[in-house]
Amino acid sequence: MSYIVKSIPKKADGCGAPIAKQAMVTIIPVDIITAEPTRELGDPNLTGDYTLSADGKAINVYGTQKTIEVLSAMEGEVDGKGFKNGVKFDHPGDTAAIRGFVEKYANKGVVAIVTECDGAGKKQTVCGRVCNPLFLTVEPTLNGEATKRTLTFQQEQVDMFGPAYYSGKEVTVAENETYTNESA
């Protein structure tokens, strides 16, 4: 559906209040995506589903809920403005699982899905596309203040699209790590 010109009033009282996010952020490596949903400029809704390779699985990464942010900054010159989208969150602890994930995905392009808990059903926001994926940067805090990593997945190139809403089929996700006697 193409953009339809309409005035935009306030939706409801309290509509600017924060909306809680599910604690798991879904990360899909672009090298396992065989088909992705489409969209038109001015319509933030994706059409279609993500299709993954036969053995491809997305990864759910735990994020401290109140730290999960969907990022979208407008950049560029006149007639060339676009969006740099991304997702940022804190992952608590210092496990072999998170260390391995950071090493494995340090140079891999991904798409990220954040699910909101707005009480009206499942609302998913997607950042990144196969042709303009997100890339990981990490800021560890391993000191007397905290043991965590701030993970930021962000596009390196400006995109014509901002974050999108996804209502397609859920992607297949890898099973959870089983922790034994690790310290954190």
Comparing C-alpha atoms, which of 118, 124, 157, 146 is closest to residue 25? 124
For residue 160, give Cα distances in angstroms to 96, 113, 128: 37, 19, 11
Q: Report d(CA 16, CA 78) in Å as an integer.
A: 30
Q: Which residues of the chain have pLDDT under 70?
A: 1, 14-15, 119-121, 180-184
Tell me the per-residue pLDDT of 142-175, one tens digit each, with 9 for 90 and over: 999 999 999 999 999 999 999 999 999 999 999 9
Extract the tokens encoding 100: 């391995």
pLDDT at 73: 96
Extract the tokens encoding 61: 């990464």
